[in-house]
Structure 1
Amino acid sequence: MHTFELQAPTRLIEWARGDRECEAGSAEGRRGGLCPERDFKVECGGFSERPVYSLKYVPDTSLLVTSGPPDSSLQVWQVSAEDSDVIKSISTIATENGTGQSWAKIDTISARAPWVLHGSRLDRVQITEVESRKNVYTAGIQGSEELSSLAFLDCSLLLLCSATGRLCLADTRQPQGLTEAVPAPSAPSSERWCMGTRHAAQGSPPSSQPVACLSSRGLLALTDLRKTSEFLAVAKARVPSSGSGAEFLCVSWAPALEGYLAVSGFDGTVHVYDTQSWDSSGREAEPIFVHKGHTFGGAGGSRDPPLVTVHTWHLQKPRTLLSAASDGSLHVWDWVQPCGKCG
């Protein structure tokens, strides 16, 4: 395991071109910046005048898109040429009725052109062309629930998850946009939800990959978008309830391991699960690995127990993850398959 100290806590880790990763400070009132030279080798950096709560690299370009309070507008950044170490702000994408709305969740794609999918509520989701700032699609979805997650499945299919656990599958080729709505598992209304998607294998339809939804009480529901009438599996993660806030809930599929996912946002740990034996019983699932490194304290010297704010899987190394916590610690770590489950 490798441990690093960030200048301040981060809530995002995003992979860019090659083996590079982006992170930014997200605290209110603090100028965001990349980690110092004593940590990772810093190639380039910049400063934001507003908190950065989400950051997405635009594939096949030198562009980044960020969002954060106090409204739902987006900021577009350019990673400068090789002879410069500056990430500079180049434009702002304003949103209709953006004032007073919560910060926008975002995803990006470059299948047709550099696009950004963004929105803060189900009824305010659109696709904007990054460079021209032209609106190219608005989803026709009824309901004003707050968005917790959204994702491009491909250049035509969009998946949205509301904080109440409702999944909406939209198709940009259809005028009305909405093609399917999947209700959340029966749960108290105080629960908050997020989702994790996995890119489909080459040659298979994007809807063939299961979607994982995670609630603030640790409930995990796996959904097959080709058959939305029932859940593939439902299980309870072995984690404490994070309460009604659930600000840092995170669930992600391993990109190179079939059926494995990771969960964080409840305490100072990251849990790895093998979902291949799960059923619809909803019983508690046993994690195959728990990363506890952040619980031993870290960079910030905070008296409060650290909370993992984000994690992500390494793109090339199947069993390697990155995770960050509220004390400013950043860990790069591997997990090992228990001997009893090898083979």
Structure 2
Amino acid sequence: MEDAEFDDILDDWFIESLKTYKDLHVYQLEHPTRVIEWTSAKTVCVAGYSPSKNEILELRLPLKLFADENKGLCAERDFKVAHGGFTDGSVRCLKHIPGTRCVVTNDGLSCDLQVWDLGGDDSDVIRRTGSIEGRKGVSEGGSRIAARLSSPPQVLHGAQSSDVQLTQLTSGQTLYKLDTDSAAPLSSLQFVSDAVFLAGCRNGSVVIADTRTSAAPQVSPPPEDGVAWWTDVSAGPHLSTCRVVRLSSSGQAVVSDLRNPGGAVCRAQLDVQTRRCSLDDVGVSWAPALDDCIAVSGFSGVVQIYNTSVWRTEQQEAQPLFQHRGHAVSSQQPDDGVPVFVTAHVWHPERPRTLLSAASDGSIHVWDWVHPAGSAAEGPTPGTK
């Protein structure tokens, strides 16, 4: 693409963004990240995934994002590095331990975990403080991690459904092991309550288990065989209100009730580019503060928002409620000819329409999108009762 043409496209998108975003802030990392993890309501942790030495950083979001009034008077409009350090290997999975200044990482090559101290007011250095051994050695794709809100802190981790275990962080003691015949690689691992967790498998099957009992877990088969799947479960005050969404590499999305994950409440064929689909990059997530909405990324340089409340039990094609095209638009075509693609996204835990997203060119964006006018025709406005 010629420089003049690129500048015109960027200018057009910038003008459009003035109407479609309440807030939009961009930052450039030295190396791209596949992890964005909240460490507080205003800070996130990111880390590189190249095979050699990588940075691990805690970033403070722009203060202007949180200025509800007189935003023009707030001078702080950029990301700031609050704490930083280095890791000798790749970081493919990273989880913050609630109530602490610790994060746990995995390199994507083994089941072992690394434990890090994020530092505090007296130090801006992130230091490695220990490790946790997994149930098996080498593992393609590495471990998934879930943190339990408990004292002393505990982490659930595993690369396959057959090697999931719960480990106490301080002592390294194994508190629970998942007993299942399946050895399917995991795409996700999440607590849905203090003791009940969901393991989403790459083949689309779902395992639900309780760490308080040795009873056999509930295993639900995949919606369709022969494709890769990514899974997320929504948070709720009760298990009966939680829903599971599974997204396939062919762009099919299936929403189920947690009490019956083998069934389908609704389904849709999403408008995504499935030609270039890396297992490491695709992600689907429920909005924590916006009813019925999911975010999808990793198929291209775009993050898409979908409103599942308008989907039906029979599959139909679904159009996104909103698309963040900032990474694709603002990135020049690289020398290798591979277009930029989104590597990670995450919703803000409290702000309904605020998300962070990162891309393969090292860019990281935080954006608060405006609900499109006229979209109420598709159904009730998300976030309203």
- When the two structures are superposed, what TM-score results if normalisation uses the length of structure 1? 0.92
Once the two structures are superposed, what CA deviation does each residue of 1:130-181 show, in whole Å capped at 9, x if it has no partner?
Answer: 1111110001111111111110112210100111000010111221341x11
For residue 113 of structure 1, what is the amino acid of its counterpart? P
Is residue 210 from structure 1 mapped to residue 208 from structure 2 by the alignment?
no
Instruction: Report the CA distance between 1:36 and its aligned residue.
Output: 8.7
Unpaired stretches in structure 1, ≥5 consecutive residues: none
Is residue 10 from structure 1 mapped to residue 43 from structure 2 by the alignment?
no
Instruction: Report the CA distance between 1:117 and its aligned residue.
Output: 0.8
Whether the 8 Å contact between 2:33 and 2:49 is mirrored in structure 1 is yes
Q: Tell me which residue corresponds to 2:110.
A: 71
Pairing of 1:1-343 with structure 2 (within 5 A) = 1-34=24-57, 40-100=79-139, 102-178=141-217, 180-187=218-225, 189=226, 191-200=227-236, 204-242=237-275, 245-298=278-331, 303-342=337-376
Instruction: Report the CA distance between 1:18 and its aligned residue.
Output: 3.4
Instruction: Report the CA distance between 1:102 and its aligned residue.
Output: 4.1
Which stretch of the first structure deviates more once superposed, 97-106 or 217-226?
97-106
User: How many residues are matched?
Assistant: 337
Instruction: Report the CA distance between 1:86 and its aligned residue.
Output: 1.0
2: CA distance, partners of 1:300 / 1:24: 24
2: CA distance, partners of 1:341 / 1:39: 32
2: CA distance, partners of 1:232 / 1:4: 39
Residues 320, 170 of structure 1: alpha-carbon distance in 2 compared, 3 angstrom cutoff = same
Residues 300, 113 of structure 1: alpha-carbon distance in 2 compared, 3 angstrom cutoff = farther
Residues 9, 101 of structure 1: alpha-carbon distance in 2 compared, 3 angstrom cutoff = closer
Whether the 8 Å contact between 1:6 and 1:36 is mirrored in structure 2 is no
2: CA distance, partners of 1:163 / 1:100: 14
Instruction: Report the CA distance between 1:110 and its aligned residue.
Output: 2.0
SS, match of residue 272 in structure 1: strand
2: CA distance, partners of 1:66 / 1:36: 17
2: CA distance, partners of 1:294 / 1:148: 24
2: CA distance, partners of 1:210 / 1:119: 23
Determine what percentage of the aligned residue pairs are the same residue: 37
Whether the 8 Å contact between 1:8 and 1:300 is mirrored in structure 2 is no
Q: Tell me which residue corresponds to 2:20.
A: none
1: CA distance, partners of 2:249 / 2:258: 22
Unpaired stretches in structure 2, ≥5 consecutive residues: 1-23, 61-76
Whether the 8 Å contact between 2:57 and 2:81 is mirrored in structure 1 is yes
Instruction: Report the CA distance between 1:19 and its aligned residue.
Output: 1.5
SS, match of residue 50 in structure 1: coil
SS, match of residue 107 in structure 1: strand
Residues 334, 18 of structure 1: alpha-carbon distance in 2 compared, 3 angstrom cutoff = closer
Residues 148, 39 of structure 1: alpha-carbon distance in 2 compared, 3 angstrom cutoff = same
Whether the 8 Å contact between 1:59 and 1:110 is mirrored in structure 2 is yes
2: CA distance, partners of 1:2 / 1:64: 25
Instruction: Report the CA distance between 1:285 and its aligned residue.
Output: 0.7
Which stretch of the first structure deviates more once superposed, 28-37 or 256-265?
28-37
1: CA distance, partners of 2:361 / 2:262: 42
Instruction: Report the CA distance between 1:254 and its aligned residue.
Output: 0.9
Instruction: Report the CA distance between 1:101 and its aligned residue.
Output: 5.4
Instruction: Report the CA distance between 1:308 and its aligned residue.
Output: 0.4
Residues 226, 26 of structure 1: alpha-carbon distance in 2 compared, 3 angstrom cutoff = same
SS, match of residue 294 in structure 1: helix
Whether the 8 Å contact between 1:192 and 1:244 is mirrored in structure 2 is no
Instruction: Report the CA distance between 1:229 and its aligned residue.
Output: 4.6
Whether the 8 Å contact between 1:220 and 1:236 is mirrored in structure 2 is yes
Which stretch of the first structure deviates more once superposed, 237-246 or 325-334?
237-246
Q: CA RMSD in A?
A: 2.1
